[in-house]
Amino acid sequence: MGRNDDLELQDESWWDGTDDLISSLDKIGYDYPFENLIVDTTAIEAKQAALANVLAKYIPQLAYGQVDDPKATVDQMREELKAAGYDDVKAAIEAGTECSNPLVELVSSLEEVSEEVPAE
């Protein structure tokens, strides 16, 4: 679950409620399905670099509100991401996962939602 409680010895710096807190977190915790996912990126390194370049070009402008038309800018960024090999990188990552992969489903649902966002 991401924590190494067995390696963290309780000492005087821990407060009295630490054990209760850890116990309550264990009740709601779950294993992260991609904790040990290793993707062989050898075939897609160049495309990943191209995607990073596109994101580096657009994300700061969008994050700091430096564009007049964010929707048009996002649309342009998506076009450039597709041209840079987004679909190939996505397919390569999905190939290393199961079809019912929650991350793949999440990414797909986010793509569907972002396409449904109305223009302002």
Tell me which residue of 93, 105, 94, 102 sits closest to 33, measured CA to CA. Answer: 102
What pLDDT does 59 receive? 96
Q: At what angle do helices 70-83 and 45-63 cross, to 10 degrees?
A: 170
Q: At what angle do helices 70-83 and 86-95 cross, to 10 degrees?
A: 60
- Residue 39 pLDDT more than 90? no
> Greater confidence, 94 or 54?
54
Decide if 61 contacts 67 (C-beta within 8 A): yes
Q: What whole-number distance in Å separates Cα of residue 72 and Cα of residue 56?
A: 17
What pLDDT does 1 receive? 45
Model pTM score = 0.57
Place of tokens 């495309």: 47
The letter for the amino acid at 28 is I
Q: For the chain, where are the alpha helices, taking DSSP H only?
A: 18-28, 45-63, 70-83, 86-95, 102-116
Tell me if residue 103 falls in helix, strand or coil.
helix
Q: What whole-number distance in Å separates Cα of residue 74 and Cα of residue 68?
A: 11
Mean pLDDT, rounded, of the chain = 81
